[in-house]
């Protein structure tokens, strides 16, 4: 008697996932490349605070513009992911390298940062979609691995700067070279078996961002998280330089660069651990816990501004550990709550709105510092996590939440 044909073995995902993680880590070194070198640039030129803010803000608004174009054209669900990722990374690396041709106080740098952000729309959400295509009931862990890589990559410019003796030109050059290698490496990746390619753009995909209640609250949680995250990353080095100036003197900038790298990079492994935990305990539980801790750090870190450096560094590391740990779980929740052929568009739209919000908070921090000093500059960031906790607990109470994390919510 002939039996049923044996099922084909699942394709190995070790190599493609490794390449996706490495490529994303390399590409994300471009995001904060110009932000990290602002203190070193100021040794050569007078860079006003508003220009320094736009070294980061230019990337954010470029990313928002790029994601909106991607959503309207459905690029992340229609174009082969590895090709879009590679082209975007190489272009972003070239724009980052072009900063070296300009004086440090040139507003034209903002244009190049905008171009970098525009290209990031073909890197960040596309990387998440590529990773989601290889998920096997472990979406939180896989997206956590990716977000961990993105976090470490975002921290890399601070390490380049410290190792290069605060040479900002070397930092920009190293970041561009590393990113270009990552863009080429992604070409060896094929899309996973869970991926689905959309045949065209459907405006109803965009409407689901708001009309689908579970998706809406998952996105609300993400917005609360984003209110805090990028403003903290963008200004932590400046905050620490001010705090260390009394004890470290001329070395305050070097110490601040190293601690900032550690604080951002520690979010990498924490994102992986949070993904593992969220797959087993529930995404709403893990995200609410992380946002409660990180929001508390934002509110209270000013109390440690004049404390012994070891205490300040400890609080900063706890903040860095929790502020990024939950990042992947909002994306994982939206991916699980969306139909397969819309995942790329929904993730792109989620990140677009989230990064649009960061434009406000990145400029809010220096404005608060001007009014109250750097000690309390981060306190308003606590509002975001408070809103995010409320949203994720509302999502947890909905019956549709059983689709998240295999029913663990």
309: nearest Cα among 375, 251, 366, 243: 243
Q: Residue 409 in contact with residue 282, Cβ under 8 Å? A: yes
In the chain, the percentage of residues whose pLDDT exceeds 90 is: 30
Q: Residue 149 in contact with residue 272, Cβ under 8 Å? A: no
Burial 107-123 (b: 16+ CB within 10 A, else e): eebbbbbbbbbbbbbbb
**Domain 14-188+199-407 CATH superfamily:** MFS general substrate transporter like domains (1.20.1250.20)
Query: Residues 56-81: pLDDT tens digits?
Result: 888 888 988 888 887 777 676 677 78
pTM recorded for the entire structure: 0.76
- Residue with tokens 């801790």, as numbered in its chain: 293
Query: Residues 285-320: pLDDT tens digits?
Result: 999 999 999 999 999 999 999 999 999 999 999 999
Can you tell me the distance from the alpha carbon of 82 to that of 310, in angstroms, rounded to the nearest whole number? 43
Looking at residue 203, its pLDDT comes to 63
| 14: exposed, middle or buried (Cβ count in 10 Å: 0-12, 13-18, 19+) | exposed
Query: Residues 123-164: pLDDT tens digits?
Result: 877 887 787 777 666 766 777 777 788 788 878 887 877 776
Please, which residues have CB within 8 angstroms of residue 93's CB and are 6 or more apart in sequence?
Answer: 30, 175, 176, 177, 179, 180, 183
Looking at residue 10, its pLDDT comes to 55
Looking at residue 7, its pLDDT comes to 47
CB atoms within 10 A of CB 251: 11
Q: Residue 171 in contact with residue 160, Cβ under 8 Å? A: yes
CB atoms within 10 A of CB 246: 11
Query: Residues 8-65: pLDDT tens digits?
Result: 455 677 888 888 888 988 998 888 788 778 878 887 888 887 788 788 888 888 988 8
346: nearest Cα among 229, 221, 227, 202: 202
Q: DSSP letters of 321-388?
A: HHHTTTHHHHHHHHHHHS-GGGHHHHHHHHHHHHHHHHHHHHHHHHHHHHHH-GGGTTGGGGHHHHHH
Looking at residue 38, its pLDDT comes to 80
Looking at residue 140, its pLDDT comes to 67
Q: What ranges do the domains of the chain cover? A: 14-188+199-407
Quickly state the pLDDT bin for 388 (edges 50, 70, 90).
Answer: very high
In the chain, the percentage of residues whose pLDDT exceeds 70 is: 87
| CA-to-CA dists, residue 58 to 64, 81, 110, 181, angstroms | 10, 25, 5, 24
Element (H, E) at 394: helix 383-396
Can you tell me the distance from the alpha carbon of 319 to that of 383, in angstroms, rounded to the nearest whole number? 15
Query: Residues 198-225: pLDDT tens digits?
Result: 545 566 666 666 777 888 899 999 999 9
Q: What is the DSSP letter of 409?
A: -
Please, which residues have CB within 8 angstroms of residue 58's CB and are 6 or more apart in sequence?
Answer: 109, 110, 111, 112, 113, 114, 116, 117
Top-confidence residue, 251 or 259: 259
Query: Residues 319-350: pLDDT tens digits?
Result: 999 998 888 888 888 888 877 666 767 777 78
């Amino acid at each position: 008697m002939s039996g049923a044909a044996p099922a084909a073995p699942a394709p190995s995902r070790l190599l493609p996932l490794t390449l996706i993680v490495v490529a994303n880590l390399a590409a994300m070194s471009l995001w904060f490349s110009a932000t990290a070198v602002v203190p070193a640039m100021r040794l050569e030129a007078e860079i006003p605070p508003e220009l320094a803010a736009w070294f980061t803000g230019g990337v954010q608004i470029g990313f928002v513009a790029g994601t909106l174009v991607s959503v309207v054209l459905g690029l992340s669900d229609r174009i082969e992911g590895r090709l879009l990722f590679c082209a975007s990374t190489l272009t972003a690396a070239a724009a980052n390298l072009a900063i070296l041709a300009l004086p440090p106080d040139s507003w034209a740098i903002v244009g190049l940062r905008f171009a970098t952000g525009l290209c990031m729309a073909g890197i960040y959400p596309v990387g998440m979609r590529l990773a989601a295509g290889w998920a096997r009931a472990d979406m939180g862990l896989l997206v956590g691995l990716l977000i961990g890589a993105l976090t470490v990559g975002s921290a890399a410019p601070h390490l380049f700067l410290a190792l290069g003796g605060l040479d900002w030109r070397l930092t920009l050059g190293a970041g561009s070279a590393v990113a270009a290698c990552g863009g080429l490496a992604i070409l060896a990746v094929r899309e996973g078996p869970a991926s689905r390619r959309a045949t065209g753009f459907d405006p109803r995909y965009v409407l689901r961002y708001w009309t689908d209640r579970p998706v809406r609250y998952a996105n609300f949680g993400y917005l609360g998280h984003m209110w805090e995250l990028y403003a903290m990353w963008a200004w932590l080095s400046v905050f620490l330089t001010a705090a260390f100036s009394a004890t470290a003197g001329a070395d305050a900038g070097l110490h601040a660069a190293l601690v900032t790298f550690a604080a951002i990079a520690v979010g990498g492994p924490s994102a992986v651990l949070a993904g593992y935990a969220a797959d087993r305990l529930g995404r709403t539980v893990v995200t609410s816990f992380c946002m409660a801790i990180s929001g508390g750090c934002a509110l209270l870190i000013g109390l440690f501004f004049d404390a012994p450096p070891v205490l300040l560094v400890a609080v900063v590391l706890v903040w860095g550990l929790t502020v990024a740990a939950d990042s992947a779980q909002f994306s994982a929740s939206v991916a699980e709550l969306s139909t397969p052929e819309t995942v790329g568009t929904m993730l792109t739209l989620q990140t677009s709105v989230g990064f649009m919000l960061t434009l406000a908070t990145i400029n809010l921090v220096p404005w608060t510092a001007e009014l109250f000093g750097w000690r309390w500059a981060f306190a308003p960031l606590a509002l975001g996590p408070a809103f995010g906790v409320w949203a994720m607990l509302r999502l947890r109470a909905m019956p549709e939440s059983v689709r998240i994390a295999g029913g663990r919510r």
